[in-house]
């Protein structure tokens, strides 16, 4: 069978790297995206991955820009073939209490974390349906499920992913296209490790399993939902948070 093409946005972050590795181990041809203007870091990461035995094609794209996303997806299809798997992982934070949050902070997070779902899915969705196979996984967050102080923008965007995913899951269900979301809790990434030690200790105390999650645990959830045999799972959210929030 022809190797399926998978795209992972925000590939060279802590979670994205593990997702890329898991998909390659699933025998997918992986294309990772990074933020335009960060070519040096992306190239260095790509070379590091190659040395580990993971060959990834890297492309720059602003996921908040519909035209840029459409152009990227057309480029990938022309160069490698049709996109069968899409993992929308790119995201940003611009934290502030609502009384201090500026419109620019709100808009930046909504555009990157929520509008990107439309920007990346819409150009490939019809073709997936026409081919009779597709897997879309949208990365949400624990804080989209429960909310978080100082993250009205982030929580709103991540919560919006659920409605978006469930709606298009219904559109693709009879055509072999599944759409699901994954909601990571606190994961042991460089970003989380920047949290002050006392605060991090308090976070871990609130996690029933008593530890931070590992990036590989999120990647396994993504690989499970994108598997060829996962066709009966659609419109659902998989919470991977150590029991911190039980919906």
- Is residue 241 one of the residues assigned to a domain? no
Contacts with 245 (C-beta within 8 Å, 6 or more apart), sequence order: 142, 145, 146, 185, 239
Dist. CA 91–CA 104, nearest whole Å? 16
Dist. CA 193–CA 179, nearest whole Å? 31
Dist. CA 173–CA 231, nearest whole Å? 9
Cβ atoms of 117 and 140 within 8 Å: the answer is no
Task: Tell me what pLDDT residue 223 has.
Answer: 98
Residues recognised as catalytic: 154
- Is residue 243 one of the residues assigned to a domain? no
Decide: residue 82, CB within 10 A, 0-12 exposed, 13-18 middle, 19+ buried: middle
Q: What is the mean pLDDT of the chain?
A: 97
Closest Cα to residue 35, out of 45, 48, 27, 20? 45
- Is residue 146 one of the residues assigned to a domain? yes
- Is residue 244 one of the residues assigned to a domain? no
Task: Tell me what pLDDT residue 191 has.
Answer: 81
Total domain count for the chain?
A: 1
The CATH number of the domain holding residue 29 is 3.40.50.720
pTM: 0.96
Residues in the chain where the model's pLDDT stays below 50: none
Task: Tell me what pLDDT residue 1 has.
Answer: 67
């Amino acid at each position: 069978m022809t190797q399926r093409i998978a795209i992972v946005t925000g590939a060279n972050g802590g979670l994205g790297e593990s997702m890329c590795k898991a998909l390659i181990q699933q025998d997918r041809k992986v294309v990772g995206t990074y933020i335009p203007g960060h070519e040096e870091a992306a190239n260095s990461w790509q070379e590091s991955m190659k040395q580990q035995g993971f060959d990834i094609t890297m492309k720059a794209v602003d996921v908040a820009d519909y035209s840029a996303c459409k152009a990227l997806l057309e480029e990938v299809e022309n160069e490698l073939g049709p996109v069968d798997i899409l993992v929308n992982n790119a995201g940003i934070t611009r934290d502030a209490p609502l009384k201090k949050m500026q419109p620019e902070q709100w808009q930046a997070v909504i555009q990157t974390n929520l509008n990107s779902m439309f920007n990346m899915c819409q150009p490939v969705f019809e073709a997936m349906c026409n081919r009779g196979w597709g897997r879309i996984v949208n990365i949400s967050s624990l804080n989209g499920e429960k909310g978080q102080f100082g993250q009205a923008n982030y929580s709103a965007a991540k919560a919006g992913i659920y409605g978006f995913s469930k709606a298009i899951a219904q559109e693709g269900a009879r055509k072999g296209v599944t759409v699901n979301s994954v909601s990571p809790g606190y994961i042991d990434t460089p970003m989380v490790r920047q949290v002050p030690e006392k605060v991090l200790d308090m976070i871990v105390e609130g996690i029933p399993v008593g530890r931070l999650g590992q990036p590989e645990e999120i990647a396994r959830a993504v690989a499970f939902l994108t598997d060829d045999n996962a066709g009966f799972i659609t419109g659902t959210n998989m919470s991977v948070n150590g029991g911190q929030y039980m919906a």
